[in-house]
Amino acid sequence: MKNQDLVDYLASCGVCRVCQLRYLKARGNEYRNMQQTFQRLDVKVDDSDLKPSVDEPDEQPPKKPRLSICSTCLGLFSEEFQNQLIDGISKSDFGKYDSAGIVLAISLPLALQLRQLSMWFALQRKFGKSSFNDNSAPDVPIKEAVKLILHPIVCSKLGREYDANGLMINIDVRHSVEAEEVAKLTDLHRVAFPGKKRIEISRGLLEKQYQPARIKADLFEQYLAIPPAAVEEPLHLQSIDLMGPIVCVAGRYRKLSRELSHTPWILHGRRIMEESIEEIIVKQVAPHFTDTVCKVTFMSSGREDVDVRCLGKGRPFVLEIMDAKRSSFSRQQAREMELAVDKSGKVSIHNLQVVPREQLTHIKTGEEQKRKYYRALCVLDEPVTVDILKKLQISESFIIQQKTPIRVLHRRPLHTRPRSIYSVKAYVSRENRRLLIIDVVSQAGTYIKELVHGEFGRTTPSISSIIGKPIDILALDVVGIDLDWPADVNNAETEVE
Ligand SMILES: [Zn+2]
DSSP states of 209-260: H-STTTS-HHHHHTTS-SSPPP-SS--EEEEEEEEPPPEEEEEEEEE--SS-
pLDDT at 335: 96
In 3D space, the residue among 293, 295, 264, 237 whose CA is nearest the CA of residue 92 turns out to be 237
Ligand 1 centroid–CA 117 distance in Å is 14
Q: Which one is catalytic: 305, 387, 477, 488?
A: 305
Residues, CB within 5 angstroms of ligand 1 (ion): 16, 19, 70, 73
Q: Specify the DSSP class assigned to residue 492.
A: G
Ligand 1 centroid–CA 144 distance in Å is 13
Ligand 1 centroid–CA 158 distance in Å is 23
Q: Classify burial at 211, counting beta carbons within 10 Å of its beta carbon; exposed 0-12, middle 13-18, buried 19 or more.
A: middle
Ligand 1 centroid–CA 53 distance in Å is 15
Cα torsion at 256, 261, 329, 165 (round to 10°)? 140
Ligand 1 centroid–CA 77 distance in Å is 6
Which residue type does 298 have? F
pLDDT at 497: 45
pTM score: 0.75
Ligand 1 centroid–CA 73 distance in Å is 4
Matching CATH topology for 247-368 and 371-481? yes
Rounded Cα–Cα distance for residues 474 and 395 (Å): 24
Which residue type does 166 have? G
pLDDT digits (tens, 9 = 90+) for 97-121: 988 899 999 999 999 999 999 999 9
Rounded Cα–Cα distance for residues 324 and 247 (Å): 6
Ligand 1 centroid–CA 69 distance in Å is 8
Residue 431 to residues 374, 428, 436: CA-CA distances in angstroms?
A: 21, 9, 11
Rounded Cα–Cα distance for residues 313 and 320 (Å): 22
Please state at what angle helix 331-342 crosses helix 277-289, rounded to 10 degrees: 150
Concerning whether 134 is annotated as a catalytic residue, the answer is no
Which residue type does 373 have? Y
Angle (nearest 5°) at CA 80 between 79 and 82 = 60
Half-sphere exposure of 76 (CA within 13 A, CB side): 31
> What is the phi/psi pair of residue 196, to 5°?
-85, 125
> What is the phi/psi pair of residue 398, to 5°?
-145, 165
Contact (Cβ atoms closer than 8 angstroms) between residue 102 and residue 169: yes
Residue 183 to residues 111, 178, 225, 233: CA-CA distances in angstroms?
A: 11, 8, 14, 19
Ligand 1 centroid–CA 121 distance in Å is 17
Rounded Cα–Cα distance for residues 416 and 191 (Å): 61
Ligand 1 centroid–CA 33 distance in Å is 16
Contact (Cβ atoms closer than 8 angstroms) between residue 349 and residue 419: no
Contact (Cβ atoms closer than 8 angstroms) between residue 378 and residue 472: yes
Ligand 1 centroid–CA 87 distance in Å is 21
In 3D space, the residue among 449, 254, 227, 417 whose CA is nearest the CA of residue 345 turns out to be 254
Q: Classify burial at 83, counting beta carbons within 10 Å of its beta carbon; exposed 0-12, middle 13-18, buried 19 or more.
A: exposed
Runs of H (alpha helix) within 247-382: 277-289, 331-342, 361-364
The distance of Cα 13 from the centroid of its chain, to the nearest Å, equals 42
Ligand 1 centroid–CA 111 distance in Å is 13
Ligand 1 centroid–CA 465 distance in Å is 80
Ligand 1 centroid–CA 391 distance in Å is 82
Rounded Cα–Cα distance for residues 494 and 497 (Å): 9
303-335 burial: b if 16+ Cβ within 10 Å, else e = bbbbebbbbebbbbbbbbbbbbbbbbbebebbb
- For the domain covering 371-481, report its CATH number: 3.30.70.3190
- Strands 398-403, 416-428: pairing kind: antiparallel
Ligand 1 centroid–CA 378 distance in Å is 78
Residues of the chain falling short of pLDDT 50: 52-57, 62-65, 496-497
Q: Which CATH class is domain 247-368?
A: alpha beta
3-state secondary structure of 265: coil
Angle (nearest 5°) at CA 363 between 371 and 272 = 90
pLDDT at 446: 93
Ligand 1 centroid–CA 221 distance in Å is 21
Q: For the chain, give every domain's residue range.
A: 69-243, 247-368, 371-481
Ligand 1 centroid–CA 213 distance in Å is 25
Contact (Cβ atoms closer than 8 angstroms) between residue 229 and residue 171: no
Which residue type does 188 have? L
Ligand 1 centroid–CA 63 distance in Å is 20
Q: Is the dihedral of CA 362, 364, 365, 371 positive or negative?
A: positive
Max Cα distance, the chain (Å): 102
Half-sphere exposure of 332 (CA within 13 A, CB side): 3
